């Protein structure tokens, strides 16, 4: 019975890091176009998944030395990016940025140091690396006693990495404190709700990083300042890594409870404010009900007027990117306007306008010059299936049936 329970637990702990890795890839793939800043969150989860898998293989399972030989040492420079990836994600979310600044090159220095010192190890044949891993599995203390870096020991490198991780955790805490949000907690405004939910998520995310960083650094202190300095049974010195493995899986899943955080906290750029002001001057008779703080409603109105007046949806290749380029609006702002201000996904709005255009053509086409395929192409559809599906979803019937109904009416 005990063997069965141990087998189940071992299988579970082996599966969790792989699921974390898969989830990080899914987050990046499906949300990169909505908010490019999300790539740093994906990098963070990916690296946490890799390092938790590495800890699992050293402390739980001795049956996969070939996988350990691949992971051990080769990913060490990347592990120094766990703290920077988390910090840059929080910073960019708070400030509504997407990329990196020139100063961010400083975050790479520890990784570069590790990379240079590990070059000789990278060049070693795979058989030597396998032999080293097997030696560590048989004598766990070799994980810290053996030195694969040219200048510093594994224990010192781990200590520096985890110390920097703690430092980044405190930097993230300061970012949240200095953010000084001014919002109405009782407001039901879509933009205010977005800011509130995202900020709550950031608090959870930063708390997670602080907790994990503290655990990792504590484990280093246990080993580094052990009176006996006996590394023969490494499991006694690394009890907290099991918690890391669990958190590495649970944290990405929390995004399922906060899906809106993938849009970040959008803030109007200077270009967007100028665009709104220019449109206001041209349309002085149109008064918006929203206040200045609700400018994303005005931005949504500008986007919709652009679609109505310019008819870009007639282009078969029309996408959100066209709106971004034409109106000079960040892509995640456009996605936020569609999904959270207008509460309608971009593909739905695009198809709605295309179907309306098809209906206009049907009513005007008294000479029957257009076939259904011709109507489809004129409206920007590229396939019959998507055309008929969109028409039925919006009108509840096929184009032919709708056309017949108009004759009767």
pLDDT over threshold 70, residue 34: no
Q: Is 256 helix (H, G, I), strand (E, B) or coil?
A: coil
**pLDDT attached to residue 1:** 45
How sure is the predictor about 226, in pLDDT bands with cuts at 50, 70 and 90?
Answer: low
Question: Is the model more confident about 10 or about 21?
Answer: 21
* pTM over the 0.95 mark: no
The whole-number pLDDT of residue 302 equals 85
Contacting residues for 233 by C-beta, under 8 A, at least 6 apart:
140
Q: Is the pLDDT of residue 209 over 70?
A: yes
Predicted confidence band of residue 109 (pLDDT cuts 50, 70, 90): very high
Mean of the per-residue pLDDT values for the chain? Answer: 77
Which of 10-24, 82-96, 276-290 has the highest mean predicted lDDT (pLDDT)? 82-96
Does the structure show a pLDDT above 70 at 176? yes
pLDDT of 64 higher than 80: no
Give residue limits of the domains in the chain: 2-263, 304-408
- 294-312 average pLDDT score: 83
Residue 86 has pLDDT above 70, yes or no: yes
Binning pLDDT at 50, 70 and 90, where does residue 12 land? low
On whether the CB atoms of residues 232 and 139 are closer than 8 A, the answer is: yes
Q: Check: CB of residue 161 under 8 Å from CB of residue 79.
A: yes
pLDDT value at 17 more than 80: no
How many residues are recorded in the chain? 409
Q: What is the mean pLDDT of residues 344-351?
A: 88
Q: Return the structure tokens found at 29.
A: 């793939």
At residue 289, does pLDDT exceed 50? no
Structure confidence at residue 166 as a pLDDT band (50, 70, 90): very high
| Tokens of residue 156, six digits | 């010192």
**Tens of pLDDT along 349-372?**
998 988 888 888 877 765 566 677
Q: What does the pLDDT read at residue 88?
A: 92
Domain boundaries 304-408, CATH class: mainly alpha
CB burial of residue 153 (10 Å; 0-12, 13-18, 19+): middle
Please give the pLDDT value at position 272. Answer: 59
Mean pLDDT check: name the lowest of 95-109, 156-170, 216-230, 281-295. 281-295
Q: What is the mean pLDDT of residues 220-239?
A: 60
């Amino acid at each position: 019975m005990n063997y069965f329970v141990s087998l189940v637990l071992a299988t579970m702990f082996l599966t969790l890091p792989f699921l974390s890795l898969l989830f990080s890839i899914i987050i990046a793939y499906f949300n990169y176009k909505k908010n490019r800043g999300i790539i740093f969150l994906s990098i963070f989860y990916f690296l946490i998944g890799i390092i938790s898998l590495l800890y699992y293989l050293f402390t739980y399972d001795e049956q996969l030395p070939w996988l350990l030989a691949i992971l051990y040492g080769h990913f060490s420079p990347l592990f120094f990016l766990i703290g920077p990836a988390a910090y840059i994600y929080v910073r960019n979310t708070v400030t509504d940025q997407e990329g990196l600044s020139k100063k961010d090159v400083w975050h790479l220095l520890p990784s570069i140091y590790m990379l240079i010192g590990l070059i000789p190890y990278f060049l070693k044949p795979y058989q030597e690396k396998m032999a080293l891993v097997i030696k560590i599995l048989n004598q766990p203390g070799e994980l810290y006693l053996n030195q694969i870096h040219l200048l510093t020991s594994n224990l010192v490198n781990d200590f520096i990495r985890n110390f920097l991780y703690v430092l980044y955790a405190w930097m993230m805490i300061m970012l949240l404190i200095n953010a000084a949000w001014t919002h109405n907690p009782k407001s039901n405004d879509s933009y205010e709700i977005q800011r509130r939910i995202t900020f709550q998520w950031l608090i959870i995310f930063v708390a997670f990083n602080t907790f994990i960083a503290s655990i990792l650094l504590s484990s280093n202190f246990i080993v580094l300042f052990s009176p006996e300095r006996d590394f023969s049974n490494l499991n006694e010195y690394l009890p907290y890594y099991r918690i890391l493995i669990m958190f590495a899986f649970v944290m990405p899943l929390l995004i399922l409870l906060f899906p809106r955080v993938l849009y970040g906290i959008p803030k109007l750029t200077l270009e967007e404010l100028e665009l709104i002001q220019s449109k206001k001057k041209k349309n002085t008779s149109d008064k918006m009900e929203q206040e200045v703080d609700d400018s994303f409603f005005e931005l949504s109105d500008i986007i919709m007027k652009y679609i109505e007046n310019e008819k870009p949806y007639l282009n078969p290749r029309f996408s959100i990117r066209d709106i971004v380029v034409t109106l000079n609006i960040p892509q995640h702002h456009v996605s936020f306007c569609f999904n959270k201000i207008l509460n309608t996904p971009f593909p739905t709005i695009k198809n709605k306008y295309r179907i309306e255009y098809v209906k206009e053509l049907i009513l005007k086409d008294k000479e029957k010059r257009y076939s259904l395929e011709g109507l489809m192409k004129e409206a920007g559809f590229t396939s019959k299936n998507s055309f008929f599906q969109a028409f039925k979803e919006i009108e509840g019937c096929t184009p032919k049936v709708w056309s017949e109904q108009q004759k009767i009416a």
